[in-house]
Structure 1
Amino acid sequence: MNKNNLSKVQQETFDPAILNDIEGYWNERSKTFSETRKKEMSGPGGAAWLKLLSEHLPTGRTLKVLDIGTGAGFFAILLAKLGHDVTGIDMSADMLHQAKLNTVALGVRAKFQKMNAQETDFDDNTFDAIISRNLTWTLPDAMEAYHEWHRILKPGGLLMNFDGDYGKADFTRHDDKENVHANIRQELVDTCNRIKNSLRISTHRRPAWDIEVLKNLGMQVEYEEDISPIVYNDPEMHYDGIPLFAIYAVK
């Protein structure tokens, strides 16, 4: 599927106005989200993620890696520490600002661009690896995103997607200061639930749906139902309890 056809399909399958709502939500959360990711990176969770990435990525060479939905740059920074050539994209300008600040503060190099995950500006077969965490549940058309990521991934390249079946959950406000979603305003929680409930992906059961889509693209897929005990291992950070699945798909 070429980029022109992808854009046409997108316009037919969701209201483009939802993109503004999603961008506004993450812009408002950018500073507190960045603080959470910095805490995670400096603790046992960061070390666990670094180990997991090292175990699944090819070794012995510098990889060209795309971090989709980079947010505050968590994966981009870890991948740069592993010596890879990393580009992070996000549709939230404020998140990208935080990502740039964090890379400078930690003395690593990564490139960042404002871009729609469903319709990127990259050429076919550009990246050795693509990585994403807790992004696909927020996309207006995740199927088209998977088509796009397949397009820009090199033959033999690896797609790693870490996400949860958040569509069947209702988010609530937390006052527990160690909860990763602590002190988010009720209005933002309501906005998040409204956006989530309007997205088609929230009607699918996952990761079964994702696996089927990727296999239909001809990818070889392996997955783990829940890696949260491995990566959410910091006793000072409380997560929402929804299983975090891991998909490893090779083009």
Structure 2
Amino acid sequence: MNDSFNHITHPKEDDKTFITSYWTERAEDFRRLREKELQSPKLILWRNELLQHIGQNESLRILDIGCGAGFFSIILSQLGHTVTGIDITPNMIEKSKLLAYSVNSNVEFIVMDAEKLDFDTNYFDVVVARNVTWNLPHPDEAYKEWLRVLKPGGILLNYDAEHAKNHHHLPQSVHHAHEHIKPDLLDKCHTIYHMLSISSTDRPTWDKVLLENMGATVTIDSTVGPRIYAEEDEFYIPVPMFLVKAVK
């Protein structure tokens, strides 16, 4: 692990209670931000992004991992797919249900650990995730599970960024997704960065090698961030986002 992570006093890496407590505190603000995002130009950008990979010709069974307040779940449901959204944080699942109901979107939301899925093998056509892998204690186990529940030929679309490596060196943006978070919550987020070994990996190369060793065909798209977050608005993520796409 990098020296910048070694001197930090932090919870044990498998302390999911600490991680969940952070997202519990963020749940309501997160819901409000996702509600605004569903009414913003980001909706069209993300819908078009997802359509590039899954198309619109048939109804697919899709799993949204770490769904948060349900942004991806709602978009995919409105495109006519059968969507299940899971999150380890009960408060997030409550907020996702409220948000989906408010926009008349039919999604099944379940409290579930992304590293231990309670679904049959070869069950889903597509698995999606956004900004999830960075805060998993055992991302290798998660990837194994995500591939397991995919049907042969199914696709994984994992959008993420090296949030931990970049958080000390972020540009001074006028607007960004964390601008309204309280300082104590930001400290908690930074503690999560420091407690997890994935924070010191070289991503998305690490993801690609791991998934290929599991037998998947993997492509990386590093243009996602510049394309979707070109504007410094309240949804802006200054850390470059990438896509890890794996075909089982």
Q: Same fold (TM over 0.5)?
A: yes
AA at the equivalent of 2:243? A
Deviations 1:124-143 (A, max 9, x none): 11100000000000000101
Determine the C-alpha separation between the residues in 2 that align with 1:225 and 1:176: 21
Contact 1:174 1:183 in 2 (8 A): no
Pairwise CA distance, 1:178: 3.7
AA at the equivalent of 1:165? E
* Aligned with residue 118 of structure 2, among 114, 117, 121: 121
- Matched residue of 1:42: which SS? coil
Identity %: 38
Contact 1:225 1:244 in 2 (8 A): yes
AA at the equivalent of 1:123? D
Q: Does 1:37 align with 2:34?
A: yes
Pairwise CA distance, 1:26: 0.2
User: Which runs of 5 or more structure 1 residues have no equivalent in the other structure?
Assistant: 1-13
Contact 1:221 1:247 in 2 (8 A): yes
User: Which runs of 5 or more structure 2 residues have no equivalent in the other structure?
Assistant: 1-10
Partner of 1:187: 184
- Matched residue of 2:158: which SS? strand
Partner of 1:244: 241
- Matched residue of 1:107: which SS? coil
Deviations 1:56-94 (A, max 9, x none): 104421100000000000000000011000000001111
Cα–Cα, structure 1 residues 172 and 116, in superposed 2: closer, same or farther, change >3 Å? farther
Report the TM-score when normalising by structure 2: 0.90
Cα–Cα, structure 1 residues 135 and 188, in superposed 2: closer, same or farther, change >3 Å? same
The runs of 4+ residues in structure 1 deviating greater than 4 Å are: 14-17, 171-177
Determine the C-alpha separation between the residues in 1 that align with 2:86 and 2:177: 23
Contact 2:176 2:238 in 1 (8 A): no
Partner of 1:94: 91
AA at the equivalent of 1:93? P
* Aligned with residue 199 of structure 2, among 202, 210, 213: 202
Report which stretch shifted further, 164-173 or 50-59.
164-173
- Matched residue of 1:249: which SS? strand
Deviations 1:184-208 (A, max 9, x none): 1111111111111110101101000
Deviations 1:142-164 (A, max 9, x none): 01100111111110000000000
* Number of equivalenced pairs: 238
Cα–Cα, structure 1 residues 162 and 51, in superposed 2: closer, same or farther, change >3 Å? same
Report the TM-score when normalising by structure 1: 0.89
* Aligned with residue 137 of structure 2, among 140, 143, 163: 140
Partner of 1:157: 154
Contact 1:143 1:213 in 2 (8 A): yes
Partner of 2:6: none
Cα–Cα, structure 1 residues 216 and 20, in superposed 2: closer, same or farther, change >3 Å? same
Determine the C-alpha separation between the residues in 1 that align with 2:73 and 2:190: 28
Cα–Cα, structure 1 residues 212 and 175, in superposed 2: closer, same or farther, change >3 Å? closer
